[in-house]
């Protein structure tokens, strides 16, 4: 068996590099001294937007924080996260777009009414400082389809309580939203099992 060599130049170089890196990171940590909630946009074509948002829900719940989740979802596919929240965390404010909404509907007026009805829940949460985290899952599509007024949405996000964090998921969403949020992560679709013929998996994809 080859033993790791801690005395060689590689190891010394590594240690020096790590020390320098730690210095940089420490300096950055010291500079980030502002305490406030953040707005996060998770976008792009790759998988992982909603599941990341639900990961933050789990983090907040772990600390006993009050959270709200609004899903502007397409169709009525039941998901593991919905089951988990409804059955094990009934205290979470959880709303989905009014039933009857589907992407293939030709009823634009009906879609707008459904989006606005759902947005009213979001607005309520965004005005309530007792919510530590608000997740607006798939909200971007409401903006791209112009089902919701962009100004109204951005205002509510901008004027939310200082300590509240908000996570928006979905592709696109527009420049206004990107400018407003503090953090934008774009999930890149490098490859996806679905394209190789693998069916969506329970507990992984929904
Ligand atoms: P997830 O919920 O898995 O985090 P997502 O929120 O990033 O996915 P959506 O477009 O909202 O992406 O996903 C809807 C469904 O499509 C989910 O079941 C997801 O796993 C799946 N999906 C996401 N990205 C892709 C992709 N690039 N190709 C095929 N299916 C995808
Ligand atoms: Mg999603």
pLDDT, tens digit, 9 for 90 and up, residues 21-32: 888 888 878 888
Residue bearing tokens 């409804």: 86
Q: How confident is the model at residue 103 (pLDDT cuts 50, 70, 90)?
A: low
CATH topology of domain 36-169+179-196: Rossmann fold (3.40.50)
Tokens (6 digits) for 145: 């389809």
pLDDT at 198 over 90: yes
Mean pLDDT of 69-75: 86
How do strand 165-169 and strand 93-96 relate by DSSP bridges?
Answer: unpaired
Q: What is the β-pairing status of strands 183-186 and 39-43?
A: parallel
Query: Helix crossing, 49-62 with 80-88: angle to 10°?
Result: 20
Q: Which pLDDT does position 44 carry in this prediction?
A: 98
The residues facing 41 across adjacent strands are 168, 184
Residue ranges per structural domain of the chain: 36-169+179-196
200 within ligand 1 shell (Cβ under 6 A): yes
What confidence score (pLDDT) does residue 22 get? 84
CA-nearest residue, atom 17 of ligand 1: 205
What pLDDT score was predicted for residue 26?
82
The whole-model pTM stands at: 0.88
Helices marked H in 127-167 — which ranges?
Answer: 140-144, 150-158
* Confidence (pLDDT) at 12: 87
In this prediction, residue 59 carries a pLDDT of: 98
User: How far apart are alpha carbons 206 and 204 in whole angstroms?
Assistant: 6
CA distances from 158 to 61, 152, 181 (A): 24, 10, 9
What is the distance in A from the centroid of ligand 2 to the CA of 80? 13
Ligand 1, residue 79: give the atom nearest the CA.
Answer: 18
Angle, nearest 10°, between helix axes 108-126 and 150-158? 10
Interval 161-189 mean pLDDT? 98
- Cβ contact 48:185 at 8 Å: no
Query: pLDDT tens across 117-159, in order?
Result: 999 999 999 999 999 999 999 999 999 999 999 999 999 999 9
Protein residue with its CA nearest to atom 12 in ligand 1: 47
CA angle 173/179/185 to nearest 5° reads: 65
């Amino acid at each position: 068996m080859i033993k790791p060599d801690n005395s060689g130049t590689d190891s010394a170089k590594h240690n020096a590099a790590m020390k320098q890196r730690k210095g940089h990171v420490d300096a950055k940590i010291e500079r980030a001294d502002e305490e406030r909630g953040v707005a996060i946009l998770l976008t792009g074509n790759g998988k992982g937007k909603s599941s990341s948002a639900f990961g933050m829900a789990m983090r907040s719940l772990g600390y006993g924080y009050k959270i709200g989740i609004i899903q502007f979802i397409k169709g009525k596919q039941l998901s593991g996260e919905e089951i988990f929240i409804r059955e094990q965390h009934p205290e979470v404010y959880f709303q989905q777009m009014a039933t009857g909404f589907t992407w293939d509907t030709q009823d634009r007026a009906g879609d707008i009414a459904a989006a606005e009805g759902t947005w009213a829940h979001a607005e309520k949460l965004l005005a309530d400082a007792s919510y530590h985290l608000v997740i607006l899952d798939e909200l971007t599509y409401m903006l791209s389809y112009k089902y919701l007024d962009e100004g109204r949405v951005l205002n509510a996000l901008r004027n939310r309580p200082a300590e509240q964090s908000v996570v928006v998921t979905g592709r696109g969403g527009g420049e206004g939203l990107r400018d407003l949020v503090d953090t934008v992560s774009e999930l890149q679709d490098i490859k996806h099992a679905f394209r190789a013929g693998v069916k969506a998996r329970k507990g992984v994809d929904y």
